[in-house]
Amino acid sequence: MSQEPLDVGVLGYRFMGKAHSNALARLPMFFDDAPDVNRHTLVGRNEEALAEAAEQFGFEHISTDWEDVVDDVDVFYNLGPNHVHAEPSIAALEAGTPVFCEKPLAPTLEAAEEMRDAAADSGVVAGCAFNYRFVPAIRYAKNLIEDGKLGEIRQVRGRYLQDWLVDADAPWSWRNDEELAGSGALGDLGAHTVDLARFLVGDETGEMSEISGQLQTFVEERPVEGSDETRPVTVDDAYAAQVEFESGAMGTFEASRVADGHKNDHTISVHGSEGSLEFSLERLNELKYKGADHRGYETILVTDESDPYLDHWWPPGHVIGWEHTFVHENYEFLSSVRDDEEFHPSFEDAYQVQRVLDAIERSDESGERILLE
């Protein structure tokens, strides 16, 4: 096991760049056994903005060319918009550099497949940053399911509601463009729900094998900030889907970026033959659980030292937040890189998510139920 610090190169310095850089900075302070990391190079296009971000995030170098960086670092983080996920990630993998890529893995199933194959051929660790797997309450929920506390899993229900596009004058961004993003609420938010559902119940239910879905765009064009122009919205504002798992369990999923009054409402419920649970991101320190001998749900405060990851933080009852999920996932990912061990969610996991997203789109287009082999 190498004790040398890992040089990390990060593409992207906006929202996700900041979230992961914060996590890298927190790691040595709270996770004694995390690998040592150098925030080595920050990559982007605008040199001035990049230099400012590098200073703020604590990076040693900047580069406007990812090609110079992918084989010059020990780990490559791809935190750019969806359309730049595939090429730099594949180049890094071909250079034998482990990759951590933001979700959804790619704008299209074809690109996701290429990334999955590149990861398999490379033999190095390739992870997709589905951060909600690393919420302590989600780990707690998974343990309950694995311990059989819910009995046989019958239904999973997931919704991810936001409202930042409810106003028709909310500005156009790459997230509104099919070429750049792939899809809208479906890929941006639905990918999280599909991943969490697979994570929580996949061992019990198998994969999602029959899928029907619907997508809708309510606002067809949006203003371009700082100009009189508008640009077309070519992705969905909302989606809904109905799935059947290999076991016969059912799933109902939806997401929206126009659900007025909902800011970051990711709620997932699981019902089994002997119990139920429900997690909601806006109350991420809690888990609602109803066991066979309970008359109703109890709310478990998941902040005890014995709860997943929490021994690294504060005394019981001192709640944690959204940014901590990034610290946890960076800890697990970088430990896997150091120890050359499997990491989940892997590119294969993210590809399986993408198959479901693609099937939902195909179902919307054809009006038919899609069967996945």
CB 256, min distance to ligand SOE, A: 11
Could you tell me the smallest distance in angstroms from the CB atom of residue 90 to ligand SOE?
Answer: 22
- In 10 A of CB 264, how many CB atoms? 15
Would you say 350 and 128 are in contact if contact means Cβ atoms under 8 Å apart? yes
CA 176 to centroid of chain Cα atoms: 19
For position 265 contacting ligand SOE by CB under 6 A, the verdict is: no
Q: How many residues bind ligand SOE (CB under 6 A)?
A: 3
Residue 188 or residue 307: which is nearer to ligand SOE going by CB? 188
Would you give the binding string for ligand SOE spanning residues 188-217, x where CB under 6 A is met? Answer: x-----------------------------
Residues in the chain: 373
40 or 159: whose CB is closer to ligand SOE?
A: 159
Least separation in angstroms between residue 251's CB and ligand SOE is 20
CA distance 112 to 27: 30
Q: Is residue 183 within 8 Å of 217, Cβ to Cβ?
A: no
Measured in whole angstroms, the distance separating CA 94 from the mean position of its chain's CA atoms is: 23
CB distance 360 to 187 below 8 Å: no
Q: Is 176 in the site for ligand SOE (CB under 6 A)?
A: no
Residue with smallest beta-carbon separation from ligand SOE: 188
Least Å distance between CB 237 and ligand SOE? Answer: 12
C-alpha span between 9 and 238 (Å, rounded)? 34
Q: What minimum distance in Å lies between the beta carbon of 281 and ligand SOE?
A: 8
H/E stretch holding 245 reads strand 238-245
Minimum separation from the CB atom of position 188 to ligand SOE (A)? 5
Q: Which is nearer to ligand SOE, 134 or 245 (CB)?
A: 134
Please identify, using beta-carbon distances, which residue of 162 and 285 lies nearer to ligand SOE: 162
Nearer to ligand SOE, 164 or 314 (CB): 164
- For 195, the token pair is 């991943």
Under a CB-based contact definition with an 8 Å cutoff, are residues 43 and 54 in contact?
A: no
Question: For the packed helices 191-205 and 347-366, what is the interaxial angle rounded to 10 degrees?
Answer: 110
Told to check if 183 binds ligand SOE by CB under 6 A, we report: no
Pick between residue 173 and residue 230 the one whose CB is nearest to ligand SOE. Answer: 173
154 in Cβ contact with 250 (< 8 Å): yes
Q: Is 162 one of the binding residues for ligand SOE (CB under 6 A)?
A: yes
Closest by CA to 328, choosing from 13, 24, 9, 10, is 24
CB of 362 within 8 A of CB of 186? no
Question: Could you tell me the smallest distance in angstroms from the CB atom of residue 192 to ligand SOE?
Answer: 6
Note the residues at the interface with ligand SOE (CB under 6 A): 162, 188, 264
